[in-house]
Chain A
């Protein structure tokens, strides 16, 4: 019931397409009133449903309630477990985030690797040979129409059969004792049911509030590496794949679930023991126990391996940071292209695009562009300045400033000089080094060509205030000013062609390069 209600409510804010699925779920999660709570209930409710189903099956098995005349009801129950897992599998993909996308890829790939009908089934369910709009609409249709309708039908049969055959009594009681213990459903049994529902709901709500709802990762990206993990109830299967490498993998991945479901379905027909007492049926219960313990062990192994894998943890944290960034940017609305386009909201993304349009005809940045002017990677960071002093031609070799000679001095002196030049543009610096660098600036004759007062001209650019925010703004607007490149300037007045916001975003990007210092 809870799944149905929260599901219907969420469907009022979900848009199943590659371009809108993630955006609509991010909106539901982060901007709709209590959206996170409702989505969290739906997700935690799914887990609770699987747990309760397994417990119920276990109880039925121990009581021997699957035996004649209730074989059919047991089979319907096993089918319902399959349906529940189907819900989980289809629902996982719907947010179209990294986690759902990659985990579901694994599931559909395995399906495609199955013999005979595998590839056809995969293509049918995916709505094509690869993931796209049709994958989402088909998964959505399965998740909200086909599976719920099947569930209603099977539950109706389940309850009808249950009413026909009645409750399976405990094997210990005689018919007389049973008659004495008989209680009416309303209100005696119902109050217990209500209490159980209230308890489970409190636990669910508590856990949702504690975790602030279900995770939503960054939008699906077929080009980005992602260490996919399925939901906990599929972890045993996931671990099984790791244990069966190579050609054994597909038979194991498909064979294990087939075997388990086959066993469960066949159980009523295998178990021909005389009484329903568990002692008489220990063989069958032992098989079930082995299955449960085996699955739990596999799941724990998978969890343990991840918890202790540094690579996985690192990847996990990276994914979390990316998700956080994507969701923050999505608050401004996701561009029409959807999904990954959310990153276009990032000011640095816009600045990068501007840089590509306006600057990379002469400069190199992140591996693209032309080498006419200096590279912009790590622009004016300490590492950049150090390299510049060692080899000015690497930066200005193709410009009229190729006259500057490399500075030959011991490394500590270069470092002090760099610290001094860096300090001119502001930022936290090492005062002692700056003082040393300032002395070197004149003793090494740097001041022969470079002024540092920020206004006058010289052989080379004036270094006063260099690489500060104001300096950058003024420089980009007019690099040919006397204090910058003066008459030797060949750089266009880029800043004049940008709007104030655009100029600011480019300045921000260059300043972040300066602060990063990656080079």
Chain B
């Protein structure tokens, strides 16, 4: 190897070393969120059973008493909305997020069904799709009634898939 190639090679090697020494930590730093998994929320009280009318969906917010978002610590943070449907002593909870593309599903009292305003998906009271592009039924959430309180375990699911896959 002549002197000139050696110098070129040395320059490349030195630059590469410094570059790697900087790039390594930076990739680790920027990739930080990838290592974090979603923490499942516990069942949270959302309503009194007596406040729910029989057979008519009611929208409620699921509120987390304490929530951490990166450096902040929030109290009483709304996680999302659910549609509650009382059937006797049982309550069905459906996520208000459309499984198609994530829009907010509304209830149309006149038609008596759920409808997504974005792409026209419609669902019956059990959440089964009756029209539109939604690949699967509305996402059901675990709900229970304990001492007169309705508790819902909130969760998010990946959109656009035929199967319900929790994030």
Contacts and interface: CB of A to CB of B under 8 A. Distances in A.
A38 B25 contact: yes
Contacts of A336: 72-75
From B21, B26, B29, residue with most partner A Cβ within 10 Å: B29
Contacts of A159: none
Given A194-B10, A194-B14, A20 B32 contact: no
A195 B14 contact: yes
A198 B17 contact: yes
A61 interface: no
A85 to B, nearest CB: 25
A79 B7 CA distance: 34
Range for the number of chain B residues in contact with chain A:
20 to 34
Interface in B83-107: none
Interface in A250-305: none
A194 B25 contact: no
B8 interface: yes
Range for the number of chain A residues in contact with chain B:
35 or more
Contacts of B8: 186-187, 191
B68 interface: yes
B18 interface: yes
Interface stretch (A29-37, A396-404, A469-477): A29-37
A195 B10 CA distance: 9
Interface stretch (A315-323, A326-334, A371-379, A478-486): A326-334
Contact of B30 (A12, A41, A205): A12
Given A26-B71, A34-B29, A191 B7 contact: yes
Contact of B71 (A24, A190, A191, A205): A24
A335 B73 contact: yes
Interface in B2-38: 4, 7-8, 10-11, 14-15, 17-18, 21-22, 25-26, 28-32, 35
B10 A201 contact: no
Contact of B73 (A26, A32, A38, A333): A333
B1 interface: no
A9 B71 CA distance: 17
Given A9-B29, A38-B25, A197-B18, A190 B74 contact: no
B7 A24 contact: no
A188 interface: yes
A121 B92 CA distance: 63
Given A2-B22, A33-B35, A187-B11, A334 B72 contact: yes
Contacts of B111: none
B26 A345 contact: no
A237 interface: no
Contacts, number: 90
Contacts of A35: 29, 32
A404 B31 CA distance: 68
A24 B70 contact: yes
Contacts of B11: 187, 190-191, 194
A293 to B, nearest CB: 34
B22 A5 contact: yes
Contacts of A23: 71-72
A32 B32 contact: yes
Interface string A328-363: 001011111010000001000000000000000000
From B11, B25, B71, B74, residue with most partner A Cβ within 10 Å: B71
Contacts of B29: 9, 32-35, 38
Contacts of B30: 9, 12
A264 B46 CA distance: 70
Instruction: Give the dominant DSSP class at A's interface.
Output: helix
A27 interface: yes
Interface in B35-79: 35, 68-75
A159 B25 CA distance: 31
B26 A191 contact: no
A330 B70 CA distance: 11
Contacts of A205: 21
Contacts of A31: 71
A426 to B, nearest CB: 34
Given A33-B32, A332-B73, A345-B73, A191 B10 contact: yes
Contacts of A194: 10-11, 14-15, 18
B70 A33 contact: no
A333 B68 contact: yes
Contacts of B74: 336
A462 B35 CA distance: 57
A332 B8 CA distance: 51
A201 B14 CA distance: 11
B117 to A, nearest CB: 32
Contacts of B14: 191, 194-195, 197-198
A49 to B, nearest CB: 15
Nearest to A330: B71
A33 B71 contact: no
Contacts of A33: 28-29, 31-32, 35
B18 to A, nearest CB: 5
A468 to B, nearest CB: 31
B21 A27 contact: no
A27 B7 contact: no
Nearest to A35: B29
A345 B71 CA distance: 13
A334 B32 contact: no
B124 to A, nearest CB: 41
Given A12-B30, A194-B11, 8 more contacts: A33-B29, A33-B32, A190-B11, A191-B10, A194-B10, A197-B18, A330-B71, A336-B72
6 contacts: A9-B26, A33-B35, A41-B22, A187-B8, A188-B7, A333-B68
Interface of B: 4, 7-8, 10-11, 14-15, 17-18, 21-22, 25-26, 28-32, 35, 68-75
Closest 10 CB pairs of A and B: A333-B73, A27-B71, A23-B71, A194-B14, A187-B7, A333-B68, A34-B25, A191-B11, A191-B7, A187-B8
Interface of A: 2, 5-6, 9, 12-13, 15, 20, 23-24, 26-27, 31-35, 37-38, 41, 186-188, 190-191, 194-195, 197-198, 201, 205, 330, 332-336, 338, 345
